[in-house]
Amino acid sequence: MNRTLYGNLIFELSKKGRKGYSLPQDYDRTHTTAELPEALRRKEAARLPECDELTVVRHYTNLSHNNFGVNDGFYPLGSCTMKYNPVINEEIAGMKAFAGLHPLQPAVTCQGALEVYYNLQESLAELAGLSEFTLNPCAGAHGELTGLMVIRAYHEAQATVPGGSPSGKRTKVLIPDSAHGTNPASAAVCGLEVVEVKSNANGTVDLEDLERLVQLEGPNIAAMMMTNPNTLGIFEPRVLEITEMVHKAGGLMYYDGANLNALLGECRPGDMGFDVMHINLHKTFSTPHGGGGPGSGPVGVRKGLEKFLPTPRVKKVVVNYDLPDDGPTEWEGFIIDWGANNEELRTKNESNSDSDSSLFPPHPSLGSVGNFFGNFGVMLKAYAYILSLGSENIKQVGPLATLNANYIKERLRDSYLLPIKGLCKHEVVFDGLVDKSTGVTTMDVAKRLLDYGYHAPTIYFPLLFHESLMIEPTENESKETIDAFIDVMHKIAEEAKTDPELVKTAPHNTPIGRVDDVLAAKQPVTTYWKMTE
């Protein structure tokens, strides 16, 4: 590929009057313009690039080669990592029998899809140690908001709390200072107030601070949101004390399960005392995270909270028929519970369906929070992933992810500053280089990694350290891959001492060198003509 030529912008490759298409000679374009109102018609032709077909194809092929994905090399991005995305699962999600379904198709014509949906609801409940799941939310943050809405609905259904806020409502959410940014954002969007809980020197929840806040806010506490392992990759060893403390004050415990892979099959949020949680299917269960979706953030609840979950949900029914010739017969099938707030959808779906939702009388759920059933393709991949691992192998996910992260931690701690020394879970956080004397920063290290063919780790998150560098190897990488990455990290640490300018001006081998991130974020110029005029 001639990168020098085809790597130019498509506008730079443009030659006036050149075309990559030909229309029939007698093509009449008058009717297209005539149909548009005068005010909406262009006064002059759009300034589009004019190129021949091969130039266009080569230009975009060249661009696509500049992408870096998990199929190209090691991808140590922490917290939002692309986990394991087997191609077979993509193929299953793309099967016409699934991909061609219409969301309002009568339930009787898509029993197979409804069975997958139902089985996934059940499998997630089993893995989480909770009673029931909705698959409706379409992202992790969407799941957080939904979960908090469930919690709010639960408290609203209780009697008002004496001694609480003026309205007698529980409005405060306790959130550790190490939490993922979406946690406080979701609480605010839900109309709740965030109360920050401090971390101690080990990076875990400061129990004394929590106790103080529980005393102070008692009857105002709606919930505490936590992720365990937390965003530093550390397991909260006193989680049972935490959940007990919040429950005693009348609050519910919310578990951010975005990084559930660290615990999969090993221990369950429900058993730790959590009442409501979300899972990121697009991280833990075989769909790449990032790039704008599609995602899926199912929400699960403990027994007693099911009625507050959004709809639709799929239920299994057994109907008994007494057939004139064959006598009593049982039919087992799946039915859609649209919920009381989805009356319109329910009637549409039932008008041409044999299914009988009267088996599920209306109940006070939140209604629907996503479109129809949510992102079904993501669910198919998740279900295929769970089935292909099975209940025994799924238990390997957490220990392997933990082993890999700890191996990296121990081998890099001589060159990279390790602020929290103990055992980590699926990811490890360093605070930049041990030797900072030459001024090489975490940003420089991340940029230099690109030169060696690696995606950068997560940088400057979590916010607890100035030079955070968070690495998550995942459970799937071979020892050779991890060793090669460690060698490169050591090499960069050495370069930072002997030739700091090389690191500070990296990357050198990529199509585009160091960009000014701040300028790009604050004054983006996104049109070629504006750049050139």
Ligand X SMILES: Cc1ncc(COP(=O)(O)O)c(C=O)c1O
Q: 50 near 18, Cβ under 8 Å?
A: yes
Site string for ligand X, 231-250 (x = CB under 6 A): x-------------------
**Nearest CB to ligand X, comparing residues 263 and 336:** 263
Beta carbon of residue 246, minimum distance to ligand X (angstroms, whole number)? 19
Q: How far is CA 421 from CA 126, 201, 202, 203, 208, in A?
A: 33, 10, 8, 10, 22
Q: How far is the CB of 228 from ligand X (least distance, A)?
A: 10
Q: Is 178 in the site for ligand X (CB under 6 A)?
A: no
Stretch that binds ligand X, among 37-45, 96-104, 136-144, 195-203 (CB under 6 A): 136-144
Residue type, 18: R
Count of residues making up the chain: 533
Count the residues of the shown chain that bind ligand X, applying the rule CB under 6 A: 16
Q: State yes or no: residue 139 binds ligand X (CB under 6 A).
A: yes
226 in contact with ligand X (CB under 6 A): no
CA distances from 326 to 167, 317, 330, 346 (A): 62, 21, 11, 33
Among 85, 146, 182, 349, binds ligand X (CB under 6 A): 182
Q: Is 258 in the site for ligand X (CB under 6 A)?
A: yes
Q: What is d(CA 218, CA 452) in angstroms, rounded to the nearest whole number?
A: 53
Let me know the angle formed at the C-alpha of 124 by 183 and 237, rounded to the nearest 5 degrees: 55
- Which of 7, 140, 269, 457 binds ligand X (CB under 6 A)? It is 140
> In the window 410-469, what residues touch ligand X (CB under 6 A)?
none
* Closer residue to ligand X (CB): 80 or 449: 80
Q: Does 170 bind ligand X (CB under 6 A)?
A: no
Q: If binding is defined by CB under 6 A, does position 280 make contact with ligand X? A: yes
Separation of alpha carbons 49 and 471, rounded Å: 42
Which of 80, 246 has the CB closer to ligand X? Answer: 80
495, 445 Cβ separation under 8 angstroms: no
Q: What is the rounded distance in angstroms from the CA atom of residue 426 to the CA atom of residue 79?
A: 9
256 binds ligand X (CB under 6 A): yes
Region of 114-122, 137-145, 359-367, 449-457 interacting with ligand X (CB under 6 A)? 137-145
Q: Which of the ranges 96-104, 138-146, 327-335, 362-370 carries the binding residues for ligand X, by CB under 6 A?
A: 138-146
- Those residues whose C-beta lies under 8 Å from the C-beta of residue 278, and which sit 6 or more positions away, are 137, 140, 143, 144, 146, 147, 255, 256, 257, 258, 297, 298, 299, 300
Give the containing element (helix H, strand E) for 306: none
Instruction: Map the footprint of ligand X across residues 281-340, applying CB under 6 A.
Output: 289, 295, 297
Looking at residue 324, what DSSP letter applies? Answer: T
Q: Which is nearer to ligand X, 73 or 294 (CB)?
A: 294
DSSP string, 236-274: -TTHHHHHHHHHHTT-EEEEEETTGGGTTTT--GGGGT-
CB of 35 to ligand X, least distance (A): 42
Query: Using the rule CB under 6 A, is 259 a contact of ligand X?
Result: yes
Pairing of strands 299-301, 172-176: unpaired
Query: What single string gives the DSSP state of each residue in 459-512?
Result: ES-STTSTTEEEE---S---HHHHHHHHHHHHHHHHHHHH-HHHHHT---SSSS
CB of 265 to ligand X, least distance (A): 19
Write down the least CB distance from residue 256 to ligand X, Å. 5
Q: Which part of the chain contacts ligand X (CB under 6 A), choosing from 51-59, 125-133, 254-262, 408-416?
A: 254-262
Neighbours of 191 (CB within 10 A): 10
- Smallest distance from the beta carbon of 146 to ligand X, in angstroms? 12
Least separation in angstroms between CB 257 and ligand X? 8
Which stretch of DSSP H or E encloses residue 226? Answer: strand 221-226
187 binds ligand X (CB under 6 A): no
Give the one residue of 227, 311, 368, 415 binding ligand X; rule: CB under 6 A: 227
Binding site for ligand X (CB under 6 A): 79-80, 139-141, 180, 182, 227, 231, 256, 258-259, 280, 289, 295, 297
